Amino acid sequence: MIMNNLGYPVLSTLIFLPVIGALLIGLMNRKHEGLIKVSALVLSLLTFAASLPIFFNFDKLTPKMQFVEWYSWIPAFNIDYLIGVDGISVLFVLLSTLVTILCVLISWNSVKIKVKEFFMALLLIEGAMIGVFCSLDFFLFYVFWEAMLIPMYLLIGVWGGPNRLYASIKFFLYTLVGSVLMLVGIVYLYLYAGRDFNILHLANLKYPLGMQLLLFWAFFAAFAVKVPMFPVHTWLPDAHTEAPTAGSVILAAVLIKMGAYGFLRFSIPMFPDAARAMTVPMMVLSVIAIIYGAVVCLAQTDIKRLIAYSSVSHMGFVTLGIFALNTQGIEGGILQMLNHGVVTGALFLSIGIIYDRTHTRQIADYGGVASVLPVYAGLFMLFTLASIGLPGTNGFIGEFLIILGGFTANRAAGVFAATGIIIGAAYMLWLYQRVFFLNVNPKVEGLHDINMRELLAVAPMAVLVFWIGLYPNAFLSFMHPSVQSLLDKVRPASANFSTLADFLRAVFA
């Protein structure tokens, strides 16, 4: 049954339009590359257009799930096809549909082999990503969660850089190991609740503390790898570096958001006591990620690897905000997930633009790019500034709210997190200096500036940088009721562990 005021299954459209599109492209003759590319572009544009009604018709006053569709799928196991979005997930559905267009545009000329399969994979990922953010049935969620892995694995393994095999297998294994623990957790919940996969039902049950703690860590394994949190972050630099531009963009913009999304959708509302009890370790890991990720950027020689490590640092801010467990922290965290998607996505798009011309990722191969490609340099500067959280850009709003939330929850966490913005400025400006300033490196001499197609691929991100930076309420207003309802669940503090013994007692009670 369809429960929305649009009168048609809008979310299913978003999930299956790209999938059907991928199948259609699959039927095409691989020699007609132009047709394949145009089809992929049209499909991604159609999907984006189809997602706009969600943005405009979303009811910002209710924490309830919206645009819900509910069909029985496998009745024998109580598995439903149940999808919907709330204030936590809706923006990521929209980000996914936008980013896919940009990925199609940026890959136009840079993909030379297996063009047909590339665009199929891209559209399949889009469908799966949207599915992950919309699923309200655990079984369905897990299907999308794993389904997304395969095209992504192929994207890195087939169209990636020289070390792509190592990177893709590492990505796959890392994610899979984490997911398996989550699967155990899901099955346990299913049995405990009397054979029920419904996420909304499961979130309303009250679980014993020991069970909450075990499940919290089981889910943590999956989400922490995805975020990625320290110390399970080392797949990200390899995956980002070796992935083709579109792969890096999707990874940065959407895929790694799923870990943080998992905390918000499952870990916190389902295991609120455990989440509250675990705030200190979570904040410690977040702060380590912020500083560790930032410091390691200072030692990078590869542009993509540097941006990858900066993602570790930025996602540390996100998890810090989430586990501050207050409004500013969580809203800042969600907004920063969006911001990181926009800014890091844009940075990878931009790196792709110059890589297409020089075929090198080494910082030392650049220099003086601002003299040769002034428009490109200006755009890259904008994204650099957003990345270091300059007020007026989107990065500032997210970081400020997160540090404020973190500082409110735990003074030390706020203070340590704030050091990240100093190091952040250092590594980004140093990168910019080595690539764009100084004398023109012979390797970039004579390159032509950004063209119209490339400009179109990054322009939407530039608009979002200012839109969110100057009028963040346009986006924050989506979240308020959902975040409040989430906090209502977690607020009554019942568990408080001062020692490890308390913790163990609770687990084995």
Helix (H) or strand (E) holding 459: helix 452-470
> Is the distance from CB of 415 to CB of 407 less than 8 angstroms?
yes
Q: Which span (15-23, 47-55, 74-82, 405-413) binds another protein, by CB under 8 A?
A: 405-413
Which residues within the stretch 353-372 sit at the binding site for another protein (CB under 8 A)? 368, 370-371
Does 467 interact with another protein (rule: CB under 8 A)?
A: no
Q: Which helix (H) or strand (E) holds 399?
A: helix 394-409
> Minimal distance in Å, beta carbon 439 to another protein?
6
Give the residue, chosen from 2, 438, 495, 507, that forms a contact with another protein under the rule CB under 8 A. 438
Q: Is 157 in the site for another protein (CB under 8 A)?
A: no
In the complex with another protein, the residue whose CB is nearer, 111 or 401, is 401
- Using CB under 8 A as the binding rule, the residues of this chain from 54 to 73 that contact another protein are none
From the list 63, 160, 332, 460, which residue makes contact with another protein (rule: CB under 8 A)? 332
Whole-number minimum distance, CB 260 to another protein, in Å? 17
Establish if 391 lies at the interface with another protein (CB under 8 A).
Answer: yes
Residue 229, both tokens:
């949190």
Task: Looking at residues 284 to 323 of the shown chain, list those that interact with another protein (rule: CB under 8 A).
Answer: 292, 295-299
Give the C-alpha separation, 188 to 195, whole Å. Answer: 9
Q: Where are the beta strands (DSSP E) in 75-190?
A: 79-85
Smallest separation, CB 311 to another protein (Å): 14
Closest approach of another protein to the CB of residue 411, in Å: 8
Are the CB atoms for 185 and 215 separated by under 8 Å? yes
Answer yes or no whether residue 180 interacts with another protein by CB under 8 A: no
Per 3-state DSSP, the chain is made up of helix, strand and coil in percentages (nearest 5) of 75, 5, 20
Q: How far is the CB of 327 from another protein (least distance, A)?
A: 4
Among residues 62, 109, 204, 473, which is the contact residue for another protein, using CB under 8 A? 473
| CA distance linking residue 317 with residue 287, whole number of Å | 7
Residue whose CB is less far from another protein, 202 or 264: 264
28 binds another protein (CB under 8 A): no
Assess 415 for contact with another protein (CB under 8 A).
Answer: yes
Q: Using CB under 8 A as the criterion, what x/- string covers residues 3-22 for binding another protein?
A: --------------------
Neighbouring-strand partners of residue 492:
none
Question: If binding means CB under 8 A, how many residues of this protein chain bind another protein?
Answer: 60
Regarding 170 and contact with another protein (CB under 8 A), the answer is yes
Does the footprint of another protein cover residue 331 (CB under 8 A)? yes
Give the whole-angstrom CA distance, residue 272 versus residue 329.
16
Q: What is the DSSP letter of 364?
A: G
Among 251, 472, 478, 482, binds another protein (CB under 8 A): 472
CA distance 455 to 457: 5
Nearest to 252 by CA among 152, 319, 180, 163: 152
Under DSSP, the state recorded for 114 is: S
- Per CB under 8 A, 426 contacts another protein: yes
Using DSSP's 3-state secondary structure scheme, residue 147 falls into: helix
Residue 397 Cβ vs another protein, minimum distance, rounded to whole Å = 6
Task: Count CB neighbours of 45 within 10 A.
Answer: 14
In whole angstroms, the minimum distance from the beta carbon of 342 to another protein comes to 17
Query: Are the C-beta atoms of residues 458 and 410 closer than 8 Å to each other?
Result: no
Three-class SS of residue 368? Answer: coil
- Show Cβ contacts of residue 500 under 8 Å, excluding neighbours closer than 6 positions: none
Q: How far is CA 458 from CA 71, 349, 398, in A?
A: 39, 7, 21
Task: Return the amino acid letter for 305.
Answer: R
Mark the segment that binds another protein (CB under 8 A) among 41-49, 126-134, 257-265, 472-480.
Answer: 472-480
Nearer to another protein, 101 or 397 (CB): 397
Distances from the Cα of 177 to the Cα of 59, 169, 182, 223, 476, angstroms: 38, 12, 9, 11, 34
Contacting positions for another protein (CB under 8 A): 170, 173-174, 231, 234-235, 292, 295-299, 326-328, 331-332, 368, 370-371, 374, 378, 385, 390-392, 396-397, 400-401, 403-404, 407-408, 411, 414-415, 418-419, 421-423, 425-426, 429-430, 433, 436-440, 470-473, 476-477, 480, 484
